[in-house]
């Protein structure tokens, strides 16, 4: 049995108040909430998928696409904010032509907004697959992203 089925089995007969924990467990295991998993959650809880999608999109924590090969976390904590992390985010979104929470078509990059990652001295900071990049600027971003893209070539 695959991991999704195992999680679903745990929740057989569960009530509607299990919705959030259920979604969290699935995301934890799968990395995102697929259409298929939401349909199955709906069957167990007797909830329409429109409602589940509504609840899931209300919270920032849920994703609806698998992470890209290179998962970019953009820190939007206070220190980073003061030093221009909103420009950083906008720039990355522009470069990759996706929004935070999404994954590029080729599956290479995804963007996630995170609250303070505890590296305020390095602000504005981003992390790609756990590797930190300090004091990023528009120029350095181009380089960073290209270097990851090149890894694929």
Partner 1 sequence: MSLNITINKKPVTAEKGEYILDTLERNGIKIPTLCHMKEMLPSGACRMCLVEIEGSGKLITSCSYPVEEGMSILTHSPRVINARKTIVELLLSNHPDDCLFCSRNKNCELQSLSEELDVRQRRIIGKKNNYSLDISGLSLTRDPDKCILCGRCIRECEEIIGVSAIDFSFRGSKTIVGTSFNKGLNTSSCVNCGQCLMVCPTGAISEKSHLNQVIEAISNPEMQVIVQYAPAISVSLAEEFGLEAGRDINGIMNAALRKIGFNRVFDTSFAADLTIMEEASELLHRIEDKKPLPMFTSCCPSWVKYVEEFWPAMLPNLSTCKSPQQMMGSIIKNYYSKVEKTDPAKIYSVAVMPCTAKKFEAQREEMSTNGMADVNAVLTTRELAKLIRIFGIDINKLQPEPADSPLGTRTSAGKIFGVSGGVMEAALRTAHFVITGKELNEHRFAQLRGFQGIKETKVKVGDMELNVAVVNGLGYALPLMEIIASGKSNIHFIEVMTCKGGCIAGGGQHIGANTDAIIARGKRLHDIDERESINVSHLNPQVMELYNKFLGKPLGETSHEYLHTNYSKREVLK
**In the numeric block, which tokens belong to residue 92?**
């990355």
Taking the C-alpha atoms of residue 119 and residue 32, their distance in angstroms, rounded to an integer, is 26
Among 3, 16, 21, 39, binds partner 1 (CB under 8 A): 39
In DSSP terms, 88 is beta-bridged to none
C-alpha to C-alpha distance for 133 and 122, rounded to whole angstroms: 8
- The stretch near partner 1 (CB under 8 A) out of 57-65, 83-91, 115-123, 128-136 is 57-65
Q: Candidates 5-13, 19-27, 49-57, 115-123 — which segment interacts with partner 1 by CB under 8 A?
A: 49-57
Residues 27 and 61: their CA atoms lie apart, in Å, by 9
The minimum distance between CB 23 and partner 1, in angstroms, equals: 14
Contact call for residue 38 and partner 1 (CB under 8 A): yes
Q: Which of 57, 61, 86, 137 contacts partner 1 by CB under 8 A?
A: 57
Does position 45 interact with partner 1 (CB under 8 A)? The reply is: no
Residues 101-140 that bind partner 1 (CB under 8 A): none
Q: What count of Cα atoms within 13 Å lies in the side-chain half-sphere of residue 82?
A: 7
């Amino acid at each position: 049995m695959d991991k999704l089925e195992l999680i679903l089995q745990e929740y057989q007969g569960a009530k509607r108040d299990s919705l959030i924990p259920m979604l969290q467990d699935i995301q934890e295991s799968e990395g995102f909430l697929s259409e298929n998993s939401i349909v199955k959650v709906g069957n167990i809880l007797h909830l329409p998928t429109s409602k589940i999608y509504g609840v899931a999109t209300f919270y920032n924590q849920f994703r609806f696409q698998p992470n890209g090969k290179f998962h970019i976390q953009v820190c939007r904590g206070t220190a980073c904010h003061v030093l221009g992390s909103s420009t950083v985010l906008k720039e990355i979104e522009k470069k990759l032509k996706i929004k935070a929470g999404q994954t590029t078509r080729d599956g290479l990059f995804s963007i996630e907004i995170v609250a303070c990652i505890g590296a305020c001295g390095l602000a504005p900071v981003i992390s790609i697959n756990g590797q930190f990049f300090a004091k990023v600027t528009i120029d350095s971003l181009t380089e960073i992203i290209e270097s990851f893209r090149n890894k694929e070539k």
